[in-house]
């Protein structure tokens, strides 16, 4: 199979333009973590650094390869390379393919996943130092990276689904890494079950598209969609069902509830999986299948509305959190909603650009939070404060990340967020270019601006509560070691310069690279929108500084009263899920099912066994004992009885015998005379 992949076995249409050698062999990129995870698992414990050496070196190689692949797509107009081997034939001409589809989107995702994974692995050598399951941690990290790359590289929906499910499993394993605490394993289960709930419509959607297109291959589905060979209703259904998976995986409303709880896992895990990679899989899916969405106005509207709702809702929730990781978690949900909303209004390239930029600064923020947590041994911001002087590197990198997130130019977050907002405004005001309803785009525009304000506000709150003022905790915080601060610095640099690849109006920029849905146009700058965005961001930061600079005794947010309570209880959504769904199933339905199983099913089985036994017993008693034995015994008894009767013939009286003989002879003689 490996040789076949090398031997350029192309089962689908190939390149427009020439790809370099690495791009043609881009399947090596997922192969590297696949190999390293096995090596770490087998040999990690014996190595001096617990296997992390293998992981880091391997991931470094993957980063280099990803950069070479990306080189093919820089400047736009890159080829789409597709290769596949038939892996598992289903019969009737169908087969599970193992294939790769390399285009600009794939290349960008490669870079994001491998770089963040590398940064996290370097960071983990410091953060997880001394943990008893250090080697397993690295094995799981590499397993996750492999799964994510497998998902991204897929050329067909089934392989994508395999990668999708695998990242879900890795998420479960890594969230519950410290499973000795019950709440950690609960969080892992909650994450798994919630994303699985989203996977149900996802799988149905895959099969809807399969039924319509006759194939699982993404390229063919997309080209059939472009040709109009699939009906709009089918496309709407398929798109919305696929989006269900994205809602689960990317933690959008109403399946966002798992992401805050997932913060129970180690912080490097939060940085890798729940900021930059796994949660972006939903965005990636929609971007990959963008033509399917674009051809259905209803689906686009659904996507946009969900994005808008989540965006605002999560930002509000981030405002009332005390745990620094939970702030970042809700922030992630909100930023993912930006990407989803961008996709919903038709700005696919903007969404992926924001994914790209967000990966850098969110990973940076998480790792920075981890550094703080590692130093003060607490998650809650109420126990922090005044760390600015004690942890300068962490402080400056964290600050840069926050500014990027808030959208201050010229940092990466500004360019990407601004593109989304501008596009939403553009589609809202130019109805003829909008794919979804223009009013939806305008709603997205408005909500995005509100969320931007809130984003700036809660990040400003977080920064001030954590680093400014005086230290409120009980520990002795100090700066983290170099293996933890180095990734922070690298990511900070990326957060600063990362946005320059997608400057508005530059047609050879990021949008041309990714070409989501085939669109390569990079929108030009809308100065008005830019100014409004900057003003909102600055305003949010200023308000945060005013409210939280000397850390107040009571959080001003609490002055919102009932609204504050609503937010603290997460809109009672978790309560609804637990009391409305989980407990009834666990307490009533499960018990009822158990009763059915024990009494009805087992009863049926036992009953049929008992019936068979009774039948056998009856058969034995009646048929065997009475009938058959009766026949046999009866034969014997008949013989004896008839013998008993016949014996009287033997009278012993010879004359009697003679008499009978004579009578017989006479009769015979008579008969002979007759005949």
- Among 91-99, 430-438, 529-537, 659-667, the segment contacting other proteins (CB under 8 A): 659-667
The binder of other proteins chosen from 211, 589, 628, 667 (CB under 8 A): 667
Given the complex with other proteins, which of 132 and 653 has the nearer CB atom?
Answer: 653
Q: Is 645 in the site for other proteins (CB under 8 A)?
A: no
Question: Could you give the residue ranges of the DSSP H alpha helices within 28-156?
Answer: 28-43, 52-71, 104-127, 134-153
206: Cα within 13 Å, side-chain hemisphere: 19
- Among 45-53, 65-73, 125-133, 645-653, the segment contacting other proteins (CB under 8 A): 645-653
Q: Is 653 in the site for other proteins (CB under 8 A)?
A: yes
- Among 480-488, 577-585, 615-623, 664-672, the segment contacting other proteins (CB under 8 A): 664-672
48: Cα within 13 Å, side-chain hemisphere: 0
Given the complex with other proteins, which of 562 and 648 has the nearer CB atom?
Answer: 648
The distance of closest approach from Cβ of residue 657 to other proteins in the complex, given in angstroms and rounded to an integer, is 10
C-beta separation of 420 from 502 below 8 A:
no
C-beta separation of 517 from 291 below 8 A:
yes
Q: Is 652 in the site for other proteins (CB under 8 A)?
A: yes
Given the complex with other proteins, which of 648 and 675 has the nearer CB atom?
Answer: 648
- Among 494-502, 517-525, 580-588, 667-675, the segment contacting other proteins (CB under 8 A): 667-675
Give Cα 51 distance to the centre of its chain: 26
Structure letter (DSSP) for residue 552: P
CB-based burial label for 235 (10 Å; 0-12, 13-18, 19+): buried
Q: Please give the full DSSP string across 227-282, using - where no structure is assigned.
A: HT-S-HHHHHHHHHHHHHHHHHHTT-TTSTTHHHHGGGS-HHHHHIIIIISTTHHH
Q: How far, in Å, are 57, 364, 365, 370 from residue 484 at the CA level?
A: 17, 11, 13, 9
- Among 53-61, 239-247, 386-394, 643-651, the segment contacting other proteins (CB under 8 A): 643-651
The distance of closest approach from Cβ of residue 659 to other proteins in the complex, given in angstroms and rounded to an integer, is 4
Q: Is 132 in the site for other proteins (CB under 8 A)?
A: no
The distance of closest approach from Cβ of residue 638 to other proteins in the complex, given in angstroms and rounded to an integer, is 18
CA distance 455 to 407: 9
CA distance 663 to 203: 101
Q: Is 655 in the site for other proteins (CB under 8 A)?
A: yes
Q: Is 674 in the site for other proteins (CB under 8 A)?
A: no
Which residue's structure tokens are 């005794």?
Answer: 553
The distance of closest approach from Cβ of residue 633 to other proteins in the complex, given in angstroms and rounded to an integer, is 23
∠ CA 399-405-409, rounded to 5°: 85
CA distance 437 to 140: 43
The distance of closest approach from Cβ of residue 650 to other proteins in the complex, given in angstroms and rounded to an integer, is 5
- Among 75-83, 124-132, 145-153, 663-671, the segment contacting other proteins (CB under 8 A): 663-671
Q: Is 642 in the site for other proteins (CB under 8 A)?
A: no
The distance of closest approach from Cβ of residue 651 to other proteins in the complex, given in angstroms and rounded to an integer, is 6
CA distance 357 to 111: 12
Q: Please give the full DSSP string across 124-164, using - where no structure is assigned.
A: HHHHTTT-TTHHHHHHHHHHHHHHHHHHHHBSBHHHHHHHH
Characterise 17 by phi-psi region: left (phi > 0), alpha (psi -120 to 50), beta (else): left
CA-CA-CA-CA torsion for 248, 253, 258, 259, nearest 10 degrees? 100
Q: Is 673 in the site for other proteins (CB under 8 A)?
A: yes
Please give the residues from 355 up to 414 whose contact with other proteins meets the rule CB under 8 A: none
The distance of closest approach from Cβ of residue 664 to other proteins in the complex, given in angstroms and rounded to an integer, is 9
The binder of other proteins chosen from 90, 180, 650, 675 (CB under 8 A): 650
The binder of other proteins chosen from 476, 521, 626, 656 (CB under 8 A): 656
The distance of closest approach from Cβ of residue 635 to other proteins in the complex, given in angstroms and rounded to an integer, is 22
Locate 139 and state its tokens: 């094995």
The distance of closest approach from Cβ of residue 642 to other proteins in the complex, given in angstroms and rounded to an integer, is 13
The distance of closest approach from Cβ of residue 632 to other proteins in the complex, given in angstroms and rounded to an integer, is 26
Total binding residues toward other proteins, as defined by CB under 8 A: 18
Given the complex with other proteins, which of 470 and 655 has the nearer CB atom?
Answer: 655
The distance of closest approach from Cβ of residue 672 to other proteins in the complex, given in angstroms and rounded to an integer, is 9
CB-based burial label for 313 (10 Å; 0-12, 13-18, 19+): buried
- Among 116-124, 399-407, 583-591, 649-657, the segment contacting other proteins (CB under 8 A): 649-657
Q: Is 675 in the site for other proteins (CB under 8 A)?
A: no
Locate 113 and state its tokens: 């996943």
- Among 152-160, 294-302, 441-449, 655-663, the segment contacting other proteins (CB under 8 A): 655-663
Please give the residues from 560 up to 619 whose contact with other proteins meets the rule CB under 8 A: none
Given the complex with other proteins, which of 607 and 664 has the nearer CB atom?
Answer: 664
The binder of other proteins chosen from 90, 562, 670, 675 (CB under 8 A): 670
The binder of other proteins chosen from 90, 562, 648, 675 (CB under 8 A): 648
The distance of closest approach from Cβ of residue 656 to other proteins in the complex, given in angstroms and rounded to an integer, is 6
The distance of closest approach from Cβ of residue 649 to other proteins in the complex, given in angstroms and rounded to an integer, is 8
C-beta separation of 477 from 390 below 8 A:
yes
The binder of other proteins chosen from 582, 604, 623, 658 (CB under 8 A): 658
Give Cα 556 distance to the centre of its chain: 36
C-beta separation of 2 from 86 below 8 A:
no
What would the 3-class secondary structure string for 563-622 be? Answer: HHHHHHCHHHHHHHHHHHHHHHHHHHHHHHHHHHHHHHHHHHHHHHHHHHHHHHHHHHHH
Residues that bind other proteins (CB under 8 A): 647-648, 650-656, 658-659, 662-663, 666-667, 669-670, 673
């Amino acid at each position: 199979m490996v040789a076949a992949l090398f031997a350029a076995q192309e089962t689908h249409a190939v390149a427009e333009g020439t790809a370099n050698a690495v791009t043609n062999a881009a399947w090596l990129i997922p192969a590297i973590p696949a190999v390293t995870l096995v090596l770490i698992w087998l040999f990690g414990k014996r190595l001096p650094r617990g296997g992390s050496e293998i992981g880091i070196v391997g991931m470094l190689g993957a980063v280099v390869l990803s950069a070479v692949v990306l080189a093919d797509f820089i400047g736009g107009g890159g080829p789409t390379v597709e290769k596949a081997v038939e892996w598992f034939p289903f019969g009737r001409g169908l087969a599970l393919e193992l294939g790769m589809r390399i285009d600009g989107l794939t290349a960008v995702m490669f870079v994001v996943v491998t770089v963040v994974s590398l940064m996290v692995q370097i960071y983990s050598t410091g953060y997880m130092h001394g943990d008893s399951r250090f080697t397993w941690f690295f094995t799981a990290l590499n397993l996750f990276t492999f799964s994510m790359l497998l998902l991204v590289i897929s050329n067909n929906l089934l392989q994508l689904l395999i990668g999708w499910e695998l990242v879900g499993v890795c998420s479960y394993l890594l969230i519950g890494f410290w499973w000795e605490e019950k709440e950690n394993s609960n969080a892992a289960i909650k994450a798994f079950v919630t994303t699985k709930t989203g996977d149900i419509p996802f799988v149905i959607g895959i099969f809807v598209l399969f039924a319509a297109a006759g194939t699982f291959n993404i390229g063919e589905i997309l080209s059939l969609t472009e040709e109009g060979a699939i009906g709009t209703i089918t496309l709407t259904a398929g798109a919305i069902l696929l989006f269900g998976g994205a809602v689960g995986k990317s933690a959008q409303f109403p399946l966002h509830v798992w992401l805050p709880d997932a913060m129970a896992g180690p912080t490097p895990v939060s940085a890798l999986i729940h900021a930059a990679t796994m949660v972006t899989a939903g965005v990636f899916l929609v971007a990959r299948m963008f033509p399917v969405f674009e051809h259905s106005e209803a689906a686009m509207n659904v996507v946009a509305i969900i994005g808008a709702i989540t965006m605002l809702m999560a930002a509000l929730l981030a405002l009332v959190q005390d745990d620094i990781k939970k702030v970042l978690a809700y922030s992630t949900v909100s930023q993912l909603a930006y990407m989803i909303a961008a996709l919903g209004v038709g700005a696919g390239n903007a969404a992926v650009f924001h994914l790209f930029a967000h990966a850098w600064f969110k990973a940076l923020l998480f790792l920075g939070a981890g550094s703080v947590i590692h130093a003060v041994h607490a998650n809650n911001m109420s126990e922090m404060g005044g760390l600015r002087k004690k942890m300068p590197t962490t402080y400056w990198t964290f600050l840069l990340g926050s500014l990027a997130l808030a959208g201050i130019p010229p940092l990466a977050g500004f360019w990407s967020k601004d593109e989304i907002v501008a596009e939403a405004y553009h589609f809202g005001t130019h109805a003829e270019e909008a794919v979804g309803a223009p009013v939806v785009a305008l709603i997205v525009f408005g909500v995005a601006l509100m969320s931007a304000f809130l984003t700036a506000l809660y990040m400003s709150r977080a920064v001030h509560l954590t680093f400014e003022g005086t230290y409120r905790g009980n520990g002795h915080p100090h700066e983290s070691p170099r293996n933890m601060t180095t990734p922070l610095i690298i990511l900070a640099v990326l957060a600063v310069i990362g946005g320059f690849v997608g400057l508005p109006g530059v047609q050879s920029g990021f949008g041309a690279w990714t070409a989501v849905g085939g669109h390569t146009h990079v929108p030009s700058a809308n100065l008005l929108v830019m100014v409004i965005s900057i003003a909102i961001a600055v305003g949010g930061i200023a308000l945060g500084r005013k409210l939280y600079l000397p850390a107040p005794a009571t959080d001003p947010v609490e002055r919102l009263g009932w609204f504050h309570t609503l937010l603290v209880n997460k809109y009672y959504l978790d309560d609804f899920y637990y009391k409305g769904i989980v407990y009834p199933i666990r307490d009533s339905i499960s018990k009822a099912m158990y009763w059915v199983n024990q009494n009805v099913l087992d009863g049926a089985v036992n009953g049929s066994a008992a019936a068979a036994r009774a039948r056998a017993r009856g058969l034995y008693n009646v048929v065997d004992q009475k009938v058959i034995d009766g026949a046999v015994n009866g034969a014997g008894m008949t013989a004896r009885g008839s013998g008993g009767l016949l014996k009287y013939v033997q009278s012993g009286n010879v004359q009697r015998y003679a008499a009978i003989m004579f009578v017989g002879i006479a009769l015979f003689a008579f008969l002979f005379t007759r005949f």
